[in-house]
Structures are given as C-alpha cells and as structure tokens.
Amino acid sequence: MAFRGLDLELLPLRASGVFAGFAWEFRGDIHKAEARTWVAYRDTIGSGGGGGGIGALPLQDIGWTTTGHIGTMGWSCEDSGRGSRSPAPSFLSGVVSNAVANVSVHLSDGTIAPAALVDSGNPDMRFFFLPCDGSVFWRELVALDATGQPLDRKVAEP
C-alpha cells in the first residue's frame, strides 16, 4: 500500500495489539528531517481502516517556528457520517524528544491516560501511541519529564 509515495509495508512495525476487539498496528520511521507514522486496525471480520502522515520532528526549526518537545502528532478516528461515532477505536500517535518520560493525554470524558512510548530507532526521539474508545476525543496532550514536570503541551482546537 502506498501513501504519498511511501510504501507503508516498509515502515518498521513499532507496536501492535488488540483494543476493544480491533487488532491494530502502529508503524513509524524517522527519515531525514521528518517523522512518518501510520496506524491500521481491523475487527474480527476484516473491517477496519487506518491513517497516518508525515510531519515535523521534536525541537525542529520549521521556518516560522521551532517545534517543542512534541513534534508531529495525529488523531485518527472514524465517523459514521450520520452524526454518531463509529464503534471503532480512535488512535493518538506522534513523536516526542527523548527528554520526555511520560505523555499524559486528557480525554473529552474527563479521563487522563498515559500514552505508550515506543522506540523510534533514533536515540534523540521516541514515538508515542494511545488507542482509546472511539466515542472520546483528546483535549490536551502534556509531555512530562522524569520528575513529572511539563516540558510541552498541545491543546486540541475546538
């Protein structure tokens, strides 16, 4: 499968699992001055989806600004098109600097969930990944250092 000239099968598999009855896999790579990520999921009868992208690295000068400890990030969710949420899970993923010890995700239902930190193959940064219920959205993402102090935060646009 190709995405913007990118052969997704060549992206290294970084993590996989099952969430809410859906098997998922997270693929990612740090390539030159960009992070490439992709999430795919399938239910037990083969229905599913996926998405990903290419974006900035943590602490990267991108011309008009420098990114913080959180580089590119993405939220994948499915909408049934009828105003109700799909039963499929949603996935939050991205890349953070190696100074980040924990990524705290504040969700729309009031819960706070830790994202998993996943090896990126690059000693200066790691990927983060969080599968969650498809009925919630992320509201705030906080990157914390080893002492629990915030290094960076992103707030979802309304």
On whether the CB atoms of residues 5 and 16 are closer than 8 A, the answer is no
Q: What is the mean pLDDT of residues 77-92?
A: 59
On whether the CB atoms of residues 128 and 115 are closer than 8 A, the answer is yes
List 26's β-bridge partners, or say none.
15, 39
Q: Provide the whole-model pTM.
A: 0.83
Of 127, 39, 126, 142, the C-alpha closest to 88 is 39
What SS3 class is residue 32? coil
What band does 69 get if pLDDT is binned at 50, 70 and 90?
Answer: very high
What band does 83 get if pLDDT is binned at 50, 70 and 90?
Answer: very low
Note the pLDDT tens digit of each residue in 23-45.
889 999 998 889 988 888 887 77
Residue 86 has pLDDT above 60, yes or no: no
Q: What share of the chain is helix, strand, coil (3-state, %, to 5)?
A: 0, 60, 40
Quote the pLDDT of residue 77. Answer: 64
Residue 1 has pLDDT above 80, yes or no: no
Domain boundaries, the chain: 2-155
Quote the pLDDT of residue 7. Answer: 59
